[in-house]
Amino acid sequence: MNAAQTIRQNPIRKSRNYRRRQTKKAIINTISYILLITGAIISLIPFIWMISTSLKGRAEVFIYPPNFIPGTLRWDNYSSVFSTFPFFSYMRNTATVAVSVTIIQLVVSATAAYAFARLDFKGRNALFFLFLGTLMVPSQVTLIPSYIMMTDRFLALKGTLWALILPSGLGGVAFGTFMLRQFMLGIPKELEEAALIDGASPIVSFFKIILPLSKPALATLAVFTFMGSWNEFLWPLLMLERPELQTLTVGLAGLQTRWGTRWPELMAGSLVSIIPILLITLFAQRYFIRGIVVSGLKG
Amino acid sequence: MRKTPLKYVFIFLVPSLIGFTVFNIVPILSSLVLAFTKWDLLTPIKFVGINNFIQMFTKDPIFWPSLGRTLLYSSMSIPLGILTSLILALAMNRPLKGIAIFRVIYFVPYVSSMIAVSMVWKWLYNDQFGLINTFLSFLGLQPQSWLSNATLVIPSLVIMDVWKGAGFGMLIYLAALQGIPEQLYEAATVDGANAFQSFFKITLPLLGPAHFYMLVTGLINGFQVFDSVYLMTQGGPGFASRVFAYNLYQSAFRQFQMGYASSMAWFLFFIIFAVTLLQFKRLGGKVEYDVI
């Protein structure tokens, strides 16, 4: 109050204050830019180095001091990756698994979330708490029994892509249900009530009202599930042995075992394997960010 | 609300219940049983009571050191992660031009698979030709054998993981920063507070829930660090980076001690359970910063 009054009464003071504040702002902004650019350089250098190495000849990699821009661009590193290792089939397997897991996860979680958010039945809260409780159980606990379950002793799915799709798609239901339920609880009940009074069944109301309104939450869950599945490593490593069925992460690890220190080819392979997920992140950024914030501060 | 006809409850719940039972409840319960057995998947399963736990706590020479390494890992990765994320978030919180580009850039490491990332970091850490050692000798410093030196291997893994996770932590802090009402800063300025005072008396305390979230997830993730260890060091040199989750993997899928590994997994569960309880307790007394 006092300051405001002085400012109004004294125009010279005002301009000096204003100037000082502008300088301060400029300084803080400059510092911020410096920090942001440093952060960006550190974030990107490994990737730039990855690209640079992937285009070098096998001997050029061991030159000291190293050069960022290769003498001659050796695109054949990429063709040798594609010819030695069935990269396209890795990519296809990974995509098949990631898309299936995402679709299953969305269907199963959305229906369950609707039941927990809107339907009234006995034991609803107890069941929901059971779902929540399993979120606390680390994956290491279920890892061993799930492995045994997939072997020939029980489901005999080990070695097939089903072994990746079913546990992640159906087993990841607790988190998806929790997230979507929270979202659906925020949708005003009145929107549905009119339809229900007119005699619509919950199924109609789910498809016509709740699902369309839940699109942002569904998209967030989809992006997250897809990324998790795309980058999964240990489970595919345990489940897949036949090379033609492997996913990108496991295939790349195999590339490393086989090629040891053939850095140009290894870098080319790494780069190719992350391009799809980078593109998806770029386009689905909004949902991605929302997902992190939701899972982080409220979950 | 009216009771929903049972038919609809079934339609909506059955798919999730099947998945939940088969892939969550059954494995959890089986794991609990396995924890009290000895089983190598070949010979018949044998019940051994609490022997696995006795072995783990009193006889296994690897168990406690692996836990110690995990804590060492977390004691470095958590503060370092908090610091880098907070700095980035503070800089991101300003209305600057081109800010969206930076956000995308910080996300690149986070969304890339650990295998791709660890491959390039292995190359960066390379003793002779790695970019990091080249840079060190350029500065006139001694090159290091990052991944094959027993004291440096855990810090090296931490650096990579902090680098990979900074974009995630940055978003958590950014969301928290944007939740702090502008009026608080205006009021402080009117009262004559300078930028440092505002930061230490307003910003930092009000970020409490975010700090706490970073701490809890940092602890939980620290106990589960596996991919980077498997891909970069295989627990080595010697046992120097054999952390908890990697140790568990070794005993389950290299030594085929399914029962023993399960009891380790349950030990992990109890740690995570305790940490989560702590979180709930803390959230009960959550700081409110609404301005009336």
Residue spans of the domains in chain B: they are 61-284
What are the angstrom distances between the C-alpha of A40 and each of A67, A284, B120, B225? 21, 20, 17, 25
Answer yes or no: is pLDDT of B289 > 80: no
Answer yes or no: is pLDDT of B224 > 80: yes
Partner residue opposite B269 with nearest CB, options A33, A43, A137: A137
Give the position of tokens 């204003």.
Answer: A18
Q: What is the pLDDT of residue B253?
A: 93
> Rounded to whole angstroms, how far apart are CA atoms B35 and B2?
44
Is some CB atom of chain A closer than 8 A to the CB atom of B106?
Answer: yes
Structure-model confidence comparison of residues B97 and B265, the more confident one:
B265
User: Are A96 and A171 in the same domain?
Assistant: yes
A140 vs B contacts (CB less than 8 Å): 224, 245, 248, 264-265, 268
> What confidence tens digit (pLDDT) does each residue in B207-218 have?
888 888 888 889
Is A173–B6 a contact, with Cβ atoms under 8 angstroms apart?
Answer: no
Is B113–A201 a contact, with Cβ atoms under 8 angstroms apart?
Answer: no
Name the minimum distance, in Å, from the CA of B47 to any CA of chain A.
16
Does some domain include residue A92?
yes
Is A274–B230 a contact, with Cβ atoms under 8 angstroms apart?
Answer: no
User: Are A175 and A43 in the same domain?
Assistant: no
> Rounded to whole angstroms, how far apart are CA atoms B55 and B62?
11
Name the minimum distance, in Å, from the CA of A208 to any CA of chain B.
15
Q: What is the pLDDT of residue B230?
A: 93
User: Are A27 and A172 in the same domain?
Assistant: no
- Percent of chain B having pLDDT more than 70? 95
Mean pLDDT on B165-177:
90
User: Are A81 and A48 in the same domain?
Assistant: no
Is A143–B103 a contact, with Cβ atoms under 8 angstroms apart?
Answer: no
Nearest to A55 by CA among A68, A31, A73: A73
Is B103–A35 a contact, with Cβ atoms under 8 angstroms apart?
Answer: no
How many domains does chain A fold into?
2
Q: What string of DSSP letters covers chain A?
A: -HHHHHHHH-HHHHHHHHHHHHHHHHHHHHHHHHHHHHHHHHHHHHHHHHHHHHTS-TTGGG-SS--SS-SS--THHHHHHHHHS-HHHHHHHHHHHHHHHHHHHHHHHHHHHHHHHH---TTHHHHHHHHHHHTTS-HHHHHHHHHHHHSTTTT--TTSTHHHHHHHHHHTHHHHHHHHHHHHHTS-THHHHHHHHTT--HHHHIIIIIHHHTHHHHHHHHHHHHHHHHH--HHHHHH--SGGG--HHHHHHHHHHHHTT-HHHHHHHHHHHHHHHHHHHHHTHHHHHHHHHIIIII-
Q: What is the pLDDT of residue A297?
A: 44
- Report the CATH number of the B61-284 domain: 1.10.3720.10
Mean pLDDT, chain A, integer? 86
Q: What is the pLDDT of residue A292?
A: 67
- Element containing residue B37 per DSSP (H, E): strand B37-38
Is B27–A149 a contact, with Cβ atoms under 8 angstroms apart?
Answer: yes
Q: How confident is the model at residue B91 (pLDDT cuts 50, 70, 90)?
A: very high
> What confidence tens digit (pLDDT) does each residue in A197-247 have?
888 888 998 998 999 999 888 988 998 899 999 999 999 999 988 877 889
User: Are A137 and A87 in the same domain?
Assistant: yes
| Residue A168, domain CATH | 1.10.3720.10
Q: What is the pLDDT of residue B100?
A: 85
Is some CB atom of chain A closer than 8 A to the CB atom of B273?
Answer: yes
Mean pLDDT on B171-181:
88
Q: How confident is the model at residue A50 (pLDDT cuts 50, 70, 90)?
A: very high
Does some domain include residue A65?
no
Mean pLDDT, chain B, integer? 89
> What confidence tens digit (pLDDT) does each residue in A248-285 have?
999 888 888 888 778 888 899 899 889 988 888 888 88
Partner residue opposite B4 with nearest CB, options A61, A202, A293: A202
Give the position of tokens 């932590």.
Answer: B169
Does some domain include residue A71?
no
Instruction: Kindly report whether the peptide bond that precedes residue A65 is cis, defined as omega within 30 degrees of 0.
Output: yes
Structure-model confidence comparison of residues B1 and B44, the more confident one:
B44
Name the minimum distance, in Å, from the CA of A159 to any CA of chain B.
16
Answer yes or no: is pLDDT of B152 > 90: yes
User: Are A155 and A33 in the same domain?
Assistant: no
User: Are A17 and A119 in the same domain?
Assistant: no
> What confidence tens digit (pLDDT) does each residue in B241-285 have?
999 999 999 999 999 999 999 999 999 999 988 887 877 776 654
Instruction: Kindly report whether the peptide bond that precedes residue B237 is cis, defined as omega within 30 degrees of 0.
Output: yes
Is some CB atom of chain A closer than 8 A to the CB atom of B173?
Answer: no
> Contact at 8 Å (CB) between A23 and A33?
no
Q: What is the pLDDT of residue A220?
A: 86
A210 vs B contacts (CB less than 8 Å): none
Structure letter (DSSP) for residue B188: H
Structure-model confidence comparison of residues A153 and B257, the more confident one:
B257
Residues of the domain holding A30: 2-54
> Rounded to whole angstroms, how far apart are CA atoms A248 and A262?
18
Q: What is the pLDDT of residue A10?
A: 58
List the 111-170 stretch of B: residues with Cβ below 8 A of A: 111-117, 119-121, 123-124, 128-129, 131, 134, 138, 163, 166-168
Residue B264 exposed, middle or buried by CB count within 10 Å (0-12, 13-18, 19+): buried
- Percent of chain A having pLDDT more than 90? 39
Answer yes or no: is pLDDT of A16 > 80: no
Does some domain include residue A68?
no
Does some domain include residue A69?
no
User: Are A97 and A238 in the same domain?
Assistant: yes
Q: What is the pLDDT of residue B103?
A: 87
A141 vs B contacts (CB less than 8 Å): 27-28, 31, 262, 265-266, 268-269
User: Are A219 and A175 in the same domain?
Assistant: yes
B230 vs A contacts (CB less than 8 Å): 233-234
Mean pLDDT on A72-97:
87
Structure tokens, B167: 């974009």
User: Are A27 and A137 in the same domain?
Assistant: no
User: Are A43 and A118 in the same domain?
Assistant: no
User: Are A218 and A177 in the same domain?
Assistant: yes
